[in-house]
């Protein structure tokens, strides 16, 4: 496979990936990797594979392709290619929580002579280093790195980088318990997405919404937290972003815990997990969550005592009786009884049905 054909196939894979046909895109890129003799093309397709596996949460695969990319960069004998591959290696270790290795590879990036580290990729290196310092709870160093990355973004008019840095700053301030700033920076990221992000991946919107949800929850604004988290989860499900799906599930559970409805939190977790596993075709995990969902429904008595359907799965009008049993309003009206269908107490107000 020559240079022109390699470029065409890489572009075909990108189009498939952007239309959410991820597995087909991966197949196209893997064929390029197997058949192409063009070293530059192989380097580029390895970068695509690193990014795709990162967004799918397959971090060991991400690391594997980053290592191969470094070998390819050495064959090319180009310092800029080597810089890009070391950055991908740093990111891979960051995702795997190997923070000391991340910092080491970032320092290698910054020490490479005659590269784009001072301009195009310098901000991304600083961002990755800041995330690693934050993972190690080295807050002062993390903040210094984030501020440096933000300066790179402003000096180079890189709104996409600024968006990513703002989300990381949201995490930083959430950890140091400055919740107003923990909300300010993700809101700034959301503004950047609205102003500049028409051509960006939806992951940037999902990312900003998730960090806003966390901040709103910490501030006690649980309605806003739920709204942002649901928006983030919707995008994560559409794009198969499993790491973000997991973060959203944890955020949903925290919101329900703050509300005091622990049983509802478990119910939500099982319901969302069921939809994730159903979309992935993982039947064993799907069955386990379906069973646990219905067990939670029975434990919390979240079903109509007349028709037997679960309450809360659909938008339906409900009626709670003085004895605390809950039914669909339509079921009570159709039943015509003056007492509770469950406990038979004459607890219904006269003339209600």
**How crowded is residue 124: how many other Cβ atoms within 10 Å of its Cβ?**
24
**CA dist 224 → 51, 218, 231 (Å):** 31, 11, 11
Question: What token pair was written down for 217?
Answer: 């929850």
Instruction: Look up residue 56 and give its two tokens.
Output: 């799918």
Q: Is 348's pLDDT higher than 50?
A: no
What's the distance, CA 327 to chain centroid? 36
pLDDT, tens digit, 9 for 90 and up, residues 40-58: 989 999 999 998 888 877 8
What's the pLDDT at 329? 75
What's phi and psi for 94, nearest 5 deg? -60, -45
3-state SS, residue 21? coil
CA–CA separation, 156 vs 148, rounded Å?
Answer: 12
Alpha helices in the chain (DSSP H): 3-18, 22-35, 39-55, 59-76, 79-95, 99-111, 122-135, 139-155, 159-175, 179-196, 203-219, 222-239, 242-259, 262-280, 283-299, 329-335
Q: What is the pLDDT of residues 29-41, one digit of tens each?
A: 999 888 888 899 8
The pLDDT assigned to 246 comes to 84
- 58 contacts: CB under 8 Å, gap ≥ 6: none
Q: Which residue has the higher pLDDT, 204 or 281?
A: 204
If you search the block for the tokens 């003339």, which residue do you land on?
Answer: 351
**C-alpha span between 128 and 130 (Å, rounded):** 5
For the entire predicted model, the pTM comes to 0.70
Tens of pLDDT, residue by residue over 84-135, are 999 999 999 999 999 999 999 999 988 877 655 556 688 999 999 999 999 9
Output Rg (C-alpha) for the chain, integer angstroms: 25
Could you give the CA distance from residue 88 to residue 82 in angstroms, rounded to a whole number?
A: 10
Q: What pLDDT is stored for residue 103 in this prediction?
A: 96
């Amino acid at each position: 496979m020559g240079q022109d054909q390699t470029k065409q196939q890489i572009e075909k894979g990108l189009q498939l990936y952007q239309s959410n046909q991820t597995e087909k895109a991966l197949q196209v890129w893997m064929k390029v990797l197997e058949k192409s003799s063009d070293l530059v093309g192989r380097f580029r397709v390895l970068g695509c594979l690193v990014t795709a596996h990162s967004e799918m949460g397959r971090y060991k695969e991400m690391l594997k392709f980053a290592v191969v990319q470094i070998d390819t960069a050495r064959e090319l004998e180009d310092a800029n290619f080597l810089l890009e591959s070391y950055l991908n290696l740093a990111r891979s270790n960051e995702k795997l929580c190997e923070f000391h290795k991340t910092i080491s590879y970032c320092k290698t990036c910054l020490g490479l002579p005659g590269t784009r580290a001072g301009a195009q990729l310098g901000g991304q290196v600083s961002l990755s280093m800041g995330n690693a310092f934050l993972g190690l709870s080295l807050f002062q160093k993390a903040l210094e790195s984030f501020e440096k990355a933000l300066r790179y973004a402003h000096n180079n008019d890189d709104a996409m980088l600024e968006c990513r840095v703002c989300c990381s700053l949201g995490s930083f301030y959430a950890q140091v318990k400055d919740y107003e700033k923990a909300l300010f920076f993700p809101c700034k990221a959301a503004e950047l997405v609205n102003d500049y992000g028409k051509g960006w991946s939806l992951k940037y919107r999902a990312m900003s919404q998730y960090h806003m949800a966390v901040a709103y929850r910490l501030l006690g604004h649980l309605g806003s937290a739920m709204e942002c988290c649901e928006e983030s989860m919707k995008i994560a499900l559409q794009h198969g972003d499993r790491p973000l799906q997991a973060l959203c599930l944890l955020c949903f559970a925290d919101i329900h815990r703050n509300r005091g409805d622990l049983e509802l939190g478990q119910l939500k977790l099982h319901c969302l997990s069921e939809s994730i596993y159903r979309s992935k075709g993982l039947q064993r995990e799907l069955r386990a969550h379906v069973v646990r969902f219905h067990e939670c429904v029975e434990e919390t008595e979240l079903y109509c005592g007349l028709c037997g359907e679960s309450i809360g799965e659909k938008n339906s009008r409900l009626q709670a009786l003085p004895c605390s049993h809950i039914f669909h309003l339509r079921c009570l009206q159709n039943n015509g009884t003056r007492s509770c269908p469950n406990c038979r107490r004459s607890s219904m107000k006269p003339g209600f049905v």
